[in-house]
Amino acid sequence: MNLPAPRAILHVDMDAFYASVETRDQPELEGQPVVVGGLGPRGVVSTANYPARVFGIHSAMPMGKAKRLCPHAHFLRPRMDRYREVSAVVFEIFHSVTPLVEGLSLDEAFLDVSASSRLFGDAEGIALRIKSDIQSRLGLTASIGIAHNKFLAKLASDLKKPDGLVHVPTTRLHEFLDPMPISRLWGIGPRTAPKLKALGILTFGQVRRADAAVLFPVLGNRVEHFRLLAAGEDEREVEPVQPDKTISHEITFDTDLSNRAELLAELQRLTEAVTRRLRKRQLIAQTVVVKIRDPSFQTVTRSRSMRAGSNNTMTIYRMARALFESWRSLHSNTPVRLLGVGATGLEPSQGEGRQGGMNVGNQLDSRSEQRLDEVFDSINARFGESGIVHGMTMRRRRDGSRED
Ligand code: TTP
Ligand code: MG
Residue 252: closest CA among 210, 219, 294, 289: 294
Residue 260: closest CA among 171, 321, 182: 321
Backbone angles phi, psi at 310, to 5 degrees: -150, 160
**pLDDT given at position 250:** 85
Contacts of 245 (CB under 8 A, 6+ apart): 344, 346
In the structure, how many helices (H) and strands (E) does the chain have?
A: 15, 13
Let me know: does 267 contact 317? Beta carbons within 8 Å: yes
CB burial string 76-105: b at 16+ within 10 A, e below: bebebeebeebbeebbebbeebbebbbbee
Q: Degrees (nearest 5) of the Cα angle 183, 189, 195?
A: 85
- Ligand 1: which of 12, 23, 46, 140 to mutate, most ligand atoms within 8 Å of CB? 46
**Distance between CA 120 and CA 132 in Å, rounded?**
14
Residues with CB under 6 A from ligand 1: 13-18, 46-47, 59-60, 107-108, 161-162, 348, 353-355
Nearest residue (CA) to ligand 1, atom 22:
46
Task: Please classify residue 323 by burial: count the beta carbons closer than 10 Å to its beta carbon, then call 0-12 exposed, 13-18 middle and 19+ buried.
Answer: buried
Distance 91 CA to ligand 1 centre (A): 17
Radius of gyration (Cα) for the chain, nearest Å?
24
Nearest residue (CA) to ligand 1, atom 10:
15
The phi-psi region of residue 8 (left if phi > 0; otherwise alpha if psi is between -120 and 50; otherwise beta) is beta
Let me know: does 315 contact 365? Beta carbons within 8 Å: yes
Q: Which of 108, 250, 266, 272 is catalytic?
A: 108
Distance 24 CA to ligand 2 centre (A): 15
Distance 166 CA to ligand 1 centre (A): 20
Q: 162: which strand partners?
A: none
| pLDDT tens digits along 89-105 | 999 999 999 999 998 88
**Distance between CA 63 and CA 190 in Å, rounded?**
21
DSSP 8-state code for residue 397? -
Residue 12: closest CA among 108, 149, 116, 140: 108
**pLDDT given at position 350:** 58
| pLDDT tens digits along 149-197 | 999 999 999 999 999 999 999 999 999 999 999 999 988 988 899 999 9
DSSP strand pairing (401-403 vs 246-257): antiparallel
Where the chain has pLDDT below 50, the residues are: 351-363, 384-404
102 is catalytic: no
Distance 15 CA to ligand 2 centre (A): 5
- Strands of 101-105's sheet in order across: 101-105, 108-112, 9-14, 142-147, 165-167
**Which atom of ligand 1 lies nearest, measured to the CA of 36?**
19
DSSP string, 334-360: --EEEEEEEEEEEEE--SS-TTS-S--
